[in-house]
Amino acid sequence: MTTAERPQTDTPTQLATPSDLSHDQTHPVAQAINPLVADAFALYLKTKNFHWHMSGPHFRDYHLLLDQQADQIFAITDPLAERVRKLSHATLHSIGQIAQLQRVKDNDAEFVKPQEMLAELMNDNKAMAANMRQAHKVCEDNMDVATASLLEVYIDEAERRTWFLFENTQG
């Protein structure tokens, strides 16, 4: 590949993956997806935090629910990060970069009541679905159907997590 044929990218030449999409198309997608990867890591850890620190009469049900949800959230990190790489861009390198990009707020409280945990995670998952919809629009605007397709599944999963958390906060 000659220099003229190499795609314009923000990654080293050795990592510049060829694509039929231009840099002008892939760059905004990568800019929209990397914060979602950071959010997924942050939401995963928060969900595990609440899973580990769950208490009360519904301990077993909530503990298992949050463990299942954490696994589902973690499962989206690799496909999204790899999607950014397939588009010839750099993805996350560190916990510090996650902290810079994440929109999910940490919760370092010593104790959080179970219903407050569920409500907080419900709101985080709802916001995650909204952020994914915004990223989906970026993908559509830039003809990246592959990333848009991934997001469609992940939006549905986030909405399901929101629904389950909502139902467990009622009553």
Q: Give the pair of three-digit tokens for residue 4.
A: 């003229």
pTM over the 0.85 mark: yes
Multiple choice CATH, 22-102+110-169, 3.10.20.30, 1.20.1260.10, 1.10.10.60, 3.30.365.10: 1.20.1260.10
State the pLDDT confidence band at 157, using cuts at 50, 70 and 90. very high
For the cut 60, the answer to whether the pLDDT of residue 91 exceeds it is: yes
Cβ–Cβ under 8 Å, residues 136 and 152: yes
Question: Distance between CA atoms of 89 and 9, rounded to whole angstroms?
Answer: 6
For the cut 50, the answer to whether the pLDDT of residue 2 exceeds it is: no
Q: What is the pLDDT of residue 1?
A: 37
Cβ neighbour number for residue 145 with a 10 Å cutoff: 10
Where along the chain do its domains lie? Answer: 22-102+110-169
Burial of 107 (0-12, 13-18, 19+ CB in 10 A): middle
Mean pLDDT of all residues in 116-139: 98
Cβ–Cβ under 8 Å, residues 116 and 62: no
pLDDT tens digits for range 16-50: 888 899 999 999 999 999 999 999 999 999 999 99
**Residue-averaged pLDDT of the chain:** 93
